[in-house]
Amino acid sequence: MLQLPTVYPILYQLFPDLDSGSKTLLIEKLPLAPAPIAIGALEIAPHIKGLTKNQLISYLEFLRTSKLSRNRKLRKQLKLAARDHGFVYDYLIEGFLDE
């Protein structure tokens, strides 16, 4: 279903309203989404501080293997989250940005 170009953008737009299991599924399916993959990854970025540790690790792994890791808009969102020292997983994002 995620491979339908009319479905996956809607699901990623609803990302902040989804339960944890659905968020995990969408993050794991990012590599399978048809182009433009950027839609899903960019929709998740503003909500990065709402991810669990495992979700964040999976999301960052996807970014590492995609060309999106250099996207300015995405990096800006990551930097904002990394600067928030109240965010318990800021160190994961800092490590990613330092690579």
For the chain, what are the domain ranges? 8-98
Mean pLDDT, rounded, of the chain: 88
Res 35: pLDDT:
63
Res 47: pLDDT:
94
Q: Which residues of the chain fall below pLDDT 70?
A: 1-5, 34-38
Q: Which amino acid is at 13?
A: Q
Model confidence, pTM:
0.88
Residue 25: C-alpha distances to residues 28, 43, 49, 54, 76 (Å): 5, 15, 17, 12, 25
- Give the tokens for residue 83: 């600067």
Beta strands in the chain (DSSP E): none
Element (H, E) at 9: helix 8-13
